[in-house]
Amino acid sequence: MFLPINKSEMNKRGWHYVDFVYISGDAYVDHPSFGAAIITRVLEKAGYKVGFLSQPDWHNADSVKVFGKPRYGFFISSGNIDSMVAHYTVAKRRRTEDLYSPGGVMGKRPDRAVEVYCKLVREAYGDIPIVIGGLEASLRRFAHYDYWSDCVQPSILVSSGADILSFGMGEKQTVQIADALSHGKKVSELRDIKGICYLCDNKDTPYGGVECPSFDNVCNSKKEYAVAARLQQDEQDFFRGRIIKQKHGKQMLVQNIPMDPLTSKELDEIYELPFMRTYHYSYEKAGGVPAIEEVEFSITHNRGCFGGCNFCSIAFHQGRYIVSRSKESIIKEAKLLTTLPNFKGYIHDVGGPTANFRFPSCSGQEERGLCKGKKCLAPVPCKNLKSDHSEYLEILRELRNLPNVKKVFIRSGIRFDYMLEDKSNAFFKELVQYHVSGQLKVAPEHCSAHVLDKMGKPHIEAYKRFSDKYFNFTKSIGKEQYIVPYLMSSHPGSTLDDAIELALFIKNQKLRPEQVQDFYPTPGTISTAMFYTELDPYTMEKVYVAKSSEDKAMQRALMRYFAPESQKLVTLALKKAHRTDLIGTGKSCLISAPVPQEKNGVHKKFENRGNFREKKKTKK
């Protein structure tokens, strides 16, 4: 049964009130791939009556009064993704479709949804407790550069007027907050819970921890912003992370230490909650919710990612520590999928943030946490890294052999560099033979060594070794399969020369990317800090950043140098970089030389042919 979405459904359950209202910027999809579904089901399991308020009318405060005043408070999230990313492309153009809204229709939620919903609740109910969470809130917990307004914004706790910010995945702190409020504690007293942020008067700032540059300082100094960004990233480890404080005028933002990760048993229990595994039936007339299509028959087996790419928000939100579900829990979910009416025999994914991470990267993490300021895989794998796919492979084998299962795919990201460190090729071979649907998507991102260093990615030699092995294994089983590499343009550090190097790599690899992705500066990442400050927070060295629309367009066009619509920009880029040696008919050239034109538009070559014919006629 779905949670009630209005007062009528609440009354049908025999409820006269709800304990909490959960407001989401997404449509209501009760599937474990949706954070809102997990948090509300966790609250339900803890014994609370929860009303799910999806996409309320942000023009009218009455829209948040659907259930009446909840007994204890509101939980508010923008949904599965940041509302600004949901609405705008990297070029800041308005998108035409919202996959998380009924029928994919745009306009069902506001920009900066968390802030808007909080203000609606304040207008409707005054000082009722408000807890914000989810990706949008979590990544904006400190003062942050906002790409869409092109300025530094304060913590979202300040701009929203919420009482508590729950960062990370949030299950444990959500229940602790709910329990405290239900036992009569004031929301202002909830300051000892891990995994939360709160505001207090400067005079009430807790002792200990570390203080990063203030909101005023990071607004006025890019160097101070870079210092703050590094400190905030480095203290997110649950084992050794410290309290972080950041002054906002007369208030102090306090981030408590991160919440302990769930155990494998706890993760199993969450994914075995009674999800409906689809969108609410009220959306049927609109055509459903498009976002369910990719995940309806997918299984999440892990959390966290020790890959730590600088442009990715996972480390700042989920954390770098890996927690995995038990094999038994995964098989149980797969058996459940086979009983669903729309199941056609295909499990679309068995993954997570990184599909082939099943255990922590090394044994030392249990004793000291993850290393501060270092990466497990880049620029080269750590000597303490343990690469082991054996248990993941066992799970995949069992899934393949289940009745009514025709195929098990792996569609979430795979770290190819981690695969190369596994001394056994068993997983690699079976991945190629059983779990690829003709194309395997991996993410080398670039080929230039210093750009990859800024990304926190391995150097391109690792991708080349992986590619060679992949095609050798593919050939050995008589299949025709391909690799689709994700590549990124205009990441901080990427100059025009680097973009040309990438274009030559694309040509040499005989790739034809249909789409290319510009770097998108989203809050809370090291790459975004580089984009804004033009400094590397870990070295404080100057970083080149492509910011002008012309520079970004040229870098993007070079990745599709072969496309007719790219020719003009590629020519401009090659001339600007003094690389006209790449224009012509030579084997290494990216584009052909433009055909000379006369004023009347007649090609010189054909004009001469015409004159020659006329002369012949005259002789006759």
Q: Output the CA torsion 415→419→422→424 (10° steps).
A: 150
Which token pair is 451?
């750009």
Give pLDDT, residue 610: 40
Give pLDDT, residue 514: 78
Exposure pattern of 369-379 as b/e (b: 16+ CB <10 Å)?
Answer: ebbeeebbbbe
Give pLDDT, residue 601: 47
Q: Where are the domains of the chain?
A: 7-198, 297-437, 441-620
Which token pair is 599?
């004023």
Distance CA 558, CA 551 (A): 11
Where residue 170 falls (left for φ over 0; alpha for ψ -120 to 50; beta otherwise) is: left
> Any idea which fold 7-198 has?
Rossmann fold (3.40.50)
Exposure pattern of 253-272 as b/e (b: 16+ CB <10 Å)?
Answer: bbbbbbbebbeeeebbbbbe
Instruction: Write out the H or E segment, with its range, that includes residue 200.
Output: strand 196-201
Give pLDDT, residue 278: 97
Give pLDDT, residue 595: 58
Q: Which amino acid is at 259?
A: M
State residue 339 phi and psi, 5-degree precision.
-95, -10
DSSP tag of 62: G
CATH 3.30.750.210 fits 297-437, yes or no: yes
Give pLDDT, residue 124: 97
Distance CA 175, CA 436 (A): 40
CA distance readout (Å), 246 to 190, 232, 279:
19, 10, 40
Which token pair is 573?
């880029």
Q: Name which of 323, 284, 389, 69 is nearest 171 in CA terms.
A: 323
State the average pLDDT for the chain.
94
Distance CA 83, CA 104 (A): 14
* Each residue's pLDDT tens digit, 327-370: 999 999 999 999 999 999 999 999 999 999 999 999 888 888 89
Q: What are the residues whose beta carbons fall under 8 Å from the beta carbon of 539, sequence distance 6 or more?
A: none
Q: What are the residues whose beta carbons fall under 8 Å from the beta carbon of 562, sequence distance 6 or more?
A: 507, 512
CA distance readout (Å), 133 to 137, 265, 322, 561:
5, 24, 21, 42
Peptide bond into 485 cis (omega under 30): no
Give pLDDT, residue 513: 85
Q: Output the CA torsion 278→280→284→287 (10° steps).
A: -60
Task: Give me the CATH code for the 441-620 domain, please.
Answer: 3.30.750.200
Which token pair is 541?
């060295």
Low-confidence residues in the chain, pLDDT < 50: 601-620
On the question of a common fold for 297-437 and 441-620, the answer reads: yes
Give pLDDT, residue 71: 98
| Cβ neighbour number for residue 108 with a 10 Å cutoff | 20
Distance CA 594, CA 580 (A): 12
